[in-house]
Structure 1
Amino acid sequence: MPVTALVSAKSCGVTAAALALTLASKRPSLLAECDPAGGTIRAGLLGGQVNAGFGLYHLARAERTGPEALANAFASHLCHLDQAGHRKLLPGLTDPAQAAALARTWPALADVLHVMAQQASHDVYIDAGRLALEAGHLHPTLTPAPLLYRADMVLLVVRGTEQSLALARHVIPSLRTALQENGSSANALGLLLIEDGPFRAHQVGESLQTPVIAALPHDQDVAHYLTAGGHPPRGYGRSALLRYARTATEQIEVAASRRQFQQYAPPAPQLAGILQRLNQQHTEGGVKHG
């Protein structure tokens, strides 16, 4: 299954889109909230039910101990987005100041996410937040660049508005170059269109010279619930956003399978502990929401 990273040039609904894809997937799925500017799902959709004792930041210390400690910490810091435990979340940072501590953790976390995708057969989504550039390069602290380089697909989330397209034009050349020089190649880059504005998918693709891999409707009520929490809107489970998100997950998988990926070295054997810990959690319960 693919590892897909979602980013934006400016706030375009990355978190709502990532949650919609995770919740709508027909397979077990995982969302890693890796925005260095801080996570919002903990206080939003989860309504503060998961405290700061869980989440991404705690993986940094474990990574310094070794792969086995990282595997155990990763499994321990997942929470469930559904009762069955098929939708999992790694909650993000509670303070942007924590981002610097993760600089050396990102590559190891990329290995873990690929284990979840390849060995545990999860659709894996990364909320990488807003791209930050420094002198035309991905910022080493404010963007989780190693996660983008290792992702099977990197989707720039855009809206069909002139403003959104103008901002995307500014970051696409730098992002494409970074993926070509450090990632699996520039063709890992695609667009996820939020259908808000006058421009349709083919116009957006032509304007940005980048393929639109999938599109999601601008469903303001459902998107607000996914980002802010509270009571789900009427008809939430049958909403257009979730229906189209399921189709989008399939389109992303097809796009990923068409690419001829660079073969990465297999992760450390200690990472197999992730699967054992996840099985134990499924049996014993674990942190749940929903």
Structure 2
Amino acid sequence: MPVTALVSAKSAGVTTSALALALSSGRPTTLAECDPAGGTIRSGLLQNQVGAGYGLYHLAQAERVGPDALANAFAAHLWPLDGDGHRQLLPGLTDPAQAAALGRTWPALSQIMRVLADQAGQDVFIDAGRLALDAGRLHPTLTPAPLLHQADLVLLVVRGTDQSLTLARYLVEPLRIELAEHGSGLDALGLLLIESGPYRAHQVAESLKVPVMAALPFDAESATYLTQGGPQPRRWARSPLLQHARTAARQLEAVAARLQTQRQYAPEPASTQLAGVLERLNHQRRGGGGPRG
């Protein structure tokens, strides 16, 4: 099953989208709230039912003990998002100042995400929040870059408005570089469009030169419930947001499966030594000289 990371240039509905995808999945699902700027689900949807004793920050100390301690801490800090516990949340930071302690925890946490997806068969969604840049690259502290590296898909969440597209445009190239050098490759980058504003999916894709891999409607009532909590809306299971999220989750799974197949059958890159030999042979064929008999 895929590991899908959601990011944005500014508040564009990352947390709401991640929650909608996690709650609509037909399989066991883990949503990790990994925004270094702090989590909002515990004070929003969960109405402060989860205290500061639960969550992401506590994994940093466990990681320093060792892999087993981290795995146990991860399992102990999951919070159920539904009655049967099939959908679980790793609550985010309560204070942005805690992000600095997670610098060496992100790579180990990314491995846990992969185990959940590859061996436990879970859908894994990562709310990576708003990305910060440093000299045109992802900020080493203010972004959970290792989580993006290990993800099957990295979705830049945008709205169909001029403001959203303008802000997102500055992130496209840094994300491409990051995924090409350290991640799953350029094809892992896609857009999740929130259908708010005048621009349709094909126009957004053309503007940012990135494919729209899924879209969700602007459903104000459902979004308010997911961000603020309170009474569940009537016909929640049939709300436009959840219905479209189910379709989006299936689309993302299909894209991830296709990319995985392409990577498995992609030719291995030639070694540096072999590349040099081929270059010399081509040079000789073009009349560049060489040994004479």
Q: Normalised by the size of structure 1, how large is the TM-score?
A: 0.89
**2:199, 2:188 → 1: CA distance?**
23
Count matched residues: 263
Counterpart Cα distance in 1 of 2:185 and 2:114: 17
Aligned to 1:107: 107
Does 2:214 align with 1:228? no
**Aligned residue in 1 for 2:280:** none
Residue 141 of structure 2 aligns to which amino acid in structure 1? Answer: T
Shift of 1:233: 2.0
* Pairwise CA distance, 1:262: 6.1
Aligned to 1:193: 193
Identity across matched positions, percent: 69
Matches of 1:187 and 1:34, distance apart in 2: 23
Distance in 1 between residues matched to 2:150 and 2:161, nearest whole Å: 30
Matches within 5 A, 1:116-265: 116-260=116-260
Match of 1:9 in 2: 9
Give the match's secondary structure for 2:155.
Answer: strand
Matches of 2:197 and 2:97, distance apart in 1: 35
Could you tell me how far apart the structure 2 residues matched to 1:81 and 1:6 are? Answer: 19
Larger Rg: 2
User: What letter corresponds to residue 9 of structure 2 in structure 1?
Assistant: A
Q: Unaligned 5+ residue runs, structure 1?
A: 264-290
Which fold has the larger relative contact order, with Cα–Cα distance below 8 Å and residues 6 or more apart in sequence?
1
**Deviation for aligned residue 1:235:** 2.1
For residue 137 of structure 1, report the CA deviation from its aligned partner. 0.4
Deviations 1:179-217 (A, max 9, x none): 111112111100000000111111111111100000000
How far does the alpha carbon of each residue in 1:57-81 deviate from its partner, in whole angstroms, 9 at most, with x for none?
0000000111000110000000100
Query: Secondary structure at the residue paired with 2:6?
Result: strand
SS of the residue corresponding to residue 157 of structure 1 reads strand
Name which of structure 1's ranges 171-180 and 188-197 shifts more when overlaid on structure 2.
Answer: 171-180
Structure 1 residues 6-40: Cα deviation after superposition (integer angstroms, max 9, x where no partner): 00011000000000000000111110000000000
The equivalent of 2:34 in structure 1 is 34
Amino acid at match of 2:176: R
- The 3-state SS of whatever aligns with 2:184 is coil
**RMSD over equivalenced CA pairs, Å:** 1.0
Uncovered stretches (5+) of structure 2, i.e. residues with no partner: 265-293
